[in-house]
Structure 1
Amino acid sequence: MRRRQRPAVAPARQLGPHHFAFYRGHLQGLELGRLSARYLGQGLDLRQARSTLGWIEDELARGVRRLATRPRQDGEATLLTESVWLALIRTRPQETVTARQVRQRKLLRALDALQPLLLVRPLPGDAVAGWFIPAVAEKLVAAGWHTLDALRAAISDDPRQWYRHARGIGVATAQDIEAWLQDQSFAVSTMGLASVAPLETLRQGPAQADAAAIEAWLDHYLPETSHTWRAYRTQAERFLLWTVHARGRALADLTAEDGSAYTGFLADPQPAAQWVGRRGTPRDRPEWRPFEGPLSAASVRHAVKIVKALCAWLVEQGRLTANPFQSVLPAPEPAPRIRAERSFSAVQWQYLKTFVSTLDADDPRTVRLRFMLRFAYATGLRISEQSRATVADLRMNDGWTLDVPGARTRTVTLPETVIDALRDHMEARGLGRDIERLPATAPLIGRIKDALSDASLSVAQVAAIWKRCFAQAGKSLATGDAKGAAQLAQASAHWLRHTAGAHALARGMSRKAVQQQLGHASITTTAAYADPALH
């Protein structure tokens, strides 16, 4: 007989920004299936979507209870009490259409107020009822442990038998509670460390104004899917979190000494338990950290360059009186170099083309991949530029050209082979082969499912297509060339950019022409592609 599995003491997952977006769309009357596909991922049926909807409502109610013990700013108390929240989400008998619309507007405003408050890690003063399931929370409260801090103190006072003071809490449940506290960084060894959470959670005091200023600066590098925006957000976020948690200051109070100290901190962010976490951890998870480990000398130079530019902009806006990095001298920067193993040789490139040509020609995904391969090699576009390019960027004047979207605007020539592959891709999407008659908003790299949609694929989605292609090609090569297969399996979309630049120089194209095509700020970067090992 199978043993019944013991329920978890706390939910295994927590609310994220996508859950708020999903629930907000539901409140606005949008269709549940489309919301699920957009915010929760493909593959969920309506039953699962409805189940997730119920879970979100339960977690929101739990979150409101959690806020009962948190300090709040003036005006929040009347909006975020549990009784008010429950009254907003419950449909009233014989409710008129007008009354329902008023209630839903209030609910949406309440949701907006809740989001920044709930997308934070557990705090010591949080009510246990806001995190643990009711059956466990009730027993902890009955023992006098109303907050997480009180519970942690009880465990510290009697590590072996603390649970005996809470009637109904057994050894197994106690171990689960301790494991949960450990996962949330509530272990005794980290009691003195402040909770480091993402930029969007800084919603109180001077840090809120500094976070808003950084977000305004980042607006100059939109869209959020671009590599530049994400890289700048990462460095600005690390800098502000260090200012708040390590220095205990606002940006306006920083000095040149702080600039030097931050440069040293980047090379070894300590304490590691507070600053360093696993790569790829979602931003809404409590174990998220701003660093994956110490930065290399080159990464430190790059980070300082970005935050120095940020501070220069803040000086222009009158938020800083001086740039704390103005006198910081970066270590000498070596000449640019592209690692040969992160580019395809002429032989590898030929194999990749041959592999793609053997795929099912009737599959729309194959048609798209053949276009992408020709497109990326002919233009050397960054992956963010690939995902943003639309029909509106095409021009016909003695041959086809593309006005590359993004921060490095430029015009590149498109060979007829690329245009023919694009026509095939558009036809496979049901849009026809006549490029001049295509919708201007149609992305050049389009969706296969919902092919008529003019919604662009995200950078992550385009990257996933490339990774899948390289992995399949590597698997196909494994029997004849294990080393080459391993290299293919590790390839990323940026390898194609390296390959395009290196092969163009090898064919005799001038460095100046390659610089303009790739959108390099400096020709010294382009010169790195002339390394014979890349050809």
Structure 2
Amino acid sequence: MKNSNQAIDVTRAQYAAIRAWLQGVAAVDVADRWLSADPDIEWTESLALRALRAIRATLAQLALRHEQEALASLLATGPRSTTALNQVLAGLRRLEELGTPAPATKHDVRLWFAAPLARRLQAAGVATLGELMTLANDLGRAWWRRVPRIGPAAAATIVRTLATAEATLGRLGAHVTGVSLPAALPSPELVPHAGRAVPLEAIRLPAALDGRAGINRGDINRCRIDALNDYQAIQTWLSLWPAGGHTWRAYRKEAERCLAWAILERGKAFSDLLTDDCLAYRAFLAQKDFGPRWSGPQVARTLPGWRPFQGPLSTRSRAYAEQVLAALCEWLVGRRYLDSNPWDGMPALRVAALDIDIERAVPPAVWQALQPWLDAQAADDVRWRTIRAAVLLLHDSGMRVFEAAGAERSGLRPAGGDGPLWGELRIVGKRTKTRMVPISRRAHDALVAHWRDLGDEHAAEGPLLAPAEPCTSPRALAKAADGRRGYSDRGLRHLVTRAGEAFRAHLEQTDPDLRAQAIHLHPHAFRHAFGTAGAEAGVPLDVRQSYLGHASPATSAIYDKAGARRRQREVAKLFSV
């Protein structure tokens, strides 16, 4: 017999052994006659019973796979009457003729996987093999992260089991198995009131709703862009920004949501939308639950499980969406692709002015605990040495994450001496403005260790931070083919955020009180820590503004406001007298 997640093979000798045992032959005699592969083995009563019970349990599971629930129940409990015994014996004869069935989508996961593994799948809402196939194909190779207490080894076993049953379960995609498959068919056209939303790059507009004949189209003879339909017009607008950049991704997200919504929910082309439709879209964005066709967990855009929303939107996010779409329509009006802007005259959503929240800075006590923990993690781990360099760099320079991701070694400027400041780094920040940021000696030492892991410690060119271990994801391979070695801002943010999660998990076990303070450990929290520490240390305002890259000194002065820690420290003096 094999493990429960594979085909069950029961030999004729094992069938004969279980029949004899059920009819009253002593367990030891049964084992000696039918189960002894080794002539020198000495069967005891306990060993024989253990072997026979294992065969009986296996046959009960096989009966369930063949949908023979009555036989499975009798095998599990044991026949307690002559009638029941005869039913079991007849059932075993039928079972032997049927053999091992192929996995089916309706099969319970308990029929194909060991009990602990099946329980974990069921706890995550995965009851059948069909639901397991859907989960894996929707979320890709990291699907198992959605199932608590299942690791990559167990996930690989599950994937192998599902892949070998392709004839009856269907095909697992290459994004799950890693095995190249024939080119996928293009996404189907969007159909009003049916199907689901797809990413912009996968959208196919139906001919009747592609915008060529939109009621809000401008004079086609005076159009200033070479766009025949709404999809091409939106792509032209997006091309104004560098592809893949933060602004481009943010604008693409709002455009693809609205384009898909117009067709799927309103049955209209984007260039058919009127102000009434804009009001309806405002109401749509204000929903608390978008439903499964629109909302789902955050996964790669290339996966079938991708959805435009991951949950309800804040008022600020909804206001931002309307601003982006109004700007898009205004630009298309200026290009004479649209006749008018349907967002004109819409009262703007009222949103409180955004201010820097200095309370989101990494607290000093957390930072003091984080440093030695990072050192310990990095002692014998290449990846953690990369993380330590990134965290120290962000905390000690005040850079934004996209600035750190784009920083180059050629921008380093040593200051000389052996003090805590190693020097400065020239970077390109917001609005493509260049500025200098400080590089502490400890951050520089961590960077040197990171470069040593990369094998180019003394190189004068190249990214400040780069993955030390090769990645085989399609995105990473495409970057390597283009000659790009460093992190993207998303990749660096993910690296630091995951490290923060690991540190919080460590504090839960070692210092629950400090864990309560370690709420913000994302990249921007380290920038806030730099600004707050600079204000408390008395660094002049103009120096802080220069390093932080704020357009106005008033923004840098926000860090001069008393934070909670400073307020509590100062007011405590009142009660000590």
Task: Give TM-score, length-normalised by structure 1.
Answer: 0.59
Q: Secondary structure at the match of 1:478?
A: helix
Secondary structure (helix, strand or coil) at the match of 1:414 reads strand
2:336 is the counterpart of 1:318: yes
* Structure 1 residue matching 2:186: 3-state secondary structure: helix
Q: In the TM superposition, what whole-angstrom CA distance separates every residue of 1:489-525 from its partner, at most 9, and x where no partner exists? A: 7632222222223323333345565455444566665
In the alignment, the residues of structure 1 paired with residue 136 and residue 238 of structure 2 have an alpha-carbon distance, to the nearest angstrom, of 27
2:187 maps to 1:117: yes
Residue of structure 2 aligned with 1:429, choices 454, 459, 465: 454
Does the aligned pair in 2 maintain the 1:410–1:517 contact within 8 Å? no
CA distance in 2, matches of 1:526, 1:264: 37
Superposed, 1:450-465 pairs within 5 Å as 450=470, 455-465=485-495
Query: Where do residues 81-480 of structure 1 align in structure 2 (5 Å cutoff)?
Result: 111=183, 115-117=185-187, 193=194, 195-204=196-205, 205=207, 206=210, 209-224=229-244, 226-268=245-287, 272-273=290-291, 276-284=294-302, 288-339=306-357, 342-394=360-412, 399-404=423-428, 408-417=432-441, 418-432=443-457, 434=458, 437-438=459-460, 440=461, 442-450=462-470, 455-478=485-508
Structure 1 residues 479, 289: CA separation in 2 closer, same or farther (over 3 Å shift)? closer
State the alpha-carbon separation in 2 of the partners of residues 484 and 447 from structure 1. Answer: 31
Contact 1:267 1:300 (C-alpha < 8 Å) held by counterparts: yes
What is the DSSP-based 3-state SS (H/G/I as helix, E as strand, rest coil) of the residue aligned with 1:196?
A: coil
Query: How many Å separate the matches in 2 of 1:54 and 1:455?
Result: 39
Q: Contact (CA 8 Å) 1:336, 1:528: kept in 2 or not?
A: no
Q: Is the 8 A contact 1:268 1:294 kept in 2?
A: yes
Q: Structure 1 pair 258/117, CA: closer, same or farther in 2 (3 Å)? A: closer
Shift of 1:376: 0.5
Q: Deviations over 1:63-100 (max 9, x none)?
A: xxxxxxxxxxxxxxxxxxxxxxxxxx9xxxxxxxxxxx
Whether contact under 8 Å (1:269, 1:276) holds in the other structure is no
Structure 1, residues 109-131: CA drift from partner, whole Å, max 9, x if none? xx5xx65336x89x8xxxxxxxx
CA contact (8 A) 2:137 2:172 kept: no
Q: Distance in 2 between matches of 1:508 and 1:515?
A: 13
> Contact (CA 8 Å) 1:194, 1:274: kept in 2 or not?
no
Is contact 1:15–1:59 with CA below 8 Å preserved after alignment? no
User: Are the equivalent residues in 1 in contact too, given 2:447–2:464 (CA < 8 A)?
Assistant: yes
- Are the counterparts in 2 of residues 501 and 514 from structure 1 also a CA contact under 8 Å? yes
Question: Aligned letter for 2:372?
Answer: T
Q: Is the contact between residue 301 and residue 331 of structure 1 (CA under 8 Å) also seen in structure 2?
A: yes
2:105 aligned partner: 8
Helix, strand or coil at the partner of 1:273: coil
SS at match of 1:411: strand
Conserved? CA contact 2:254–2:325, under 8 Å: yes
Distance change >3 Å, CA 360–CA 230, structure 1 → 2: same
Q: CA separation in 2, counterparts of 1:251 and 1:232?
A: 16
Q: How far has the Cα of 1:381 moved from its partner?
A: 2.5
The question of whether the paired residues in 1 share the 8 Å contact of 2:395 and 2:527 is answered with yes
Where does structure 2 lack aligned partners over 5 or more consecutive residues?
1-57, 66-101, 107-129, 142-151, 174-180, 212-227, 417-422, 472-479, 566-577
Whether contact under 8 Å (1:196, 1:274) holds in the other structure is no
Q: Using a 3 Å threshold, how does the CA distance of structure 1 residues 251 and 513 change in structure 2: closer, same or farther?
A: farther
Per the alignment, in what secondary structure is the counterpart of residue 381 of structure 1? coil
| Deviation of 1:342 (Å) | 2.9
> Which of 1 and 2 has greater Rg?
2
Q: Work out the CA distance in 1 between the residues paired with 2:541 and 2:347.
A: 30
Alpha-carbon distance, 1:479 to partner:
5.2
- Cα deviation, residue 265, structure 1: 2.9
Query: Would the aligned equivalents of 2:326 and 2:341 in 1 still touch at CA under 8 Å?
Result: yes
- Post-superposition Cα deviations, 1:144-187, rounded to whole Å, max 9, x if no partner, equal xxxxxxxxxxxxxxxxxxxxxxxxxxxxxxxxxxxxxxxxxxxx
Alignment match of 1:502 (pick from 532, 556, 567): 532
Q: Is the 8 A contact 2:300 2:306 kept in 1?
A: yes
- Answer whether contact 2:545 2:553 (CA < 8 A) is retained: yes
Q: Rate the CA distance shift 1:258–1:61 in 2: closer, same or farther, 3 A.
A: same
Contact 1:474 1:484 survives alignment (8 Å): no
Q: State the AA in 2 paired with 1:388.
A: G
CA shift in 2, pair 1:480/1:284, >3 Å: closer
Alignment-derived partner of residue 223 in structure 2: none
DSSP 3-state at the match of 2:196: coil
Question: How far apart in 1 are the matches of 2:468 and 2:385?
Answer: 10
CA distance, structure 2, for counterparts of residue 13 and residue 481 of structure 1: 36
* Cα gap change, 1:363 to 1:529, in 2 (>3 Å): same
Matched, 1:485 2:515: yes
Counterpart amino acid of residue 234 in structure 1: K
User: For 1:116, what is the secondary structure of its paired residue?
Assistant: coil
- State the secondary structure of the residue aligned to 1:117: coil
Moved more, 201-210 or 519-528: 519-528
Query: TM-score with structure 2 length normalisation?
Result: 0.55
Residue ranges of structure 1 left out of the alignment (5+ in a row): 20-40, 63-88, 90-106, 124-190
Deviations 1:267-308 (A, max 9, x none): 2278x3366423314545555432334422222222222222
Partners of 1:364 and 1:459 in 2: how far apart? Answer: 20
Contact 1:380 1:518 in 2 (8 A): yes
Give the 3 Å change call, closer, same or farther, for CA 512–264 of structure 1 in structure 2: farther
Secondary structure, in 3 states, of the residue corresponding to 1:444? coil
- 2:436 alignment partner, SS class: strand
For residue 330 of structure 1, report the CA deviation from its aligned partner.
Answer: 1.9
Alpha-carbon spacing, 1:478–1:13, altered in 2? closer, same or farther (3 Å): closer
Instruction: Tell me what 1:144 maps to.
Output: none
How many angstroms does 1:349 deviate by? Answer: 2.1
**1:368-394 Cα shifts (integer Å, max 9, x gaps):** 233222210233233233333333554
The answer (yes or no) to whether the contact 1:389–1:443 under 8 Å persists in 2 is: yes
**Shift, 1:13, TM fit:** 6.5
Q: State the partner residue of 1:166.
A: none
Show the counterpart of 1:129.
none
Distance 1:530 1:320 in 2: 48
Alpha-carbon distance change, 388 to 406 in structure 1, aligned in 2, over 3 angstroms: farther
CA, structure 1 residues 223+18, in 2 after alignment: closer, same or farther (shift >3 Å)?
farther
Identical-residue share of aligned pairs (%): 26
Segment of structure 1 superposing worse, 450-459 or 420-429 = 450-459
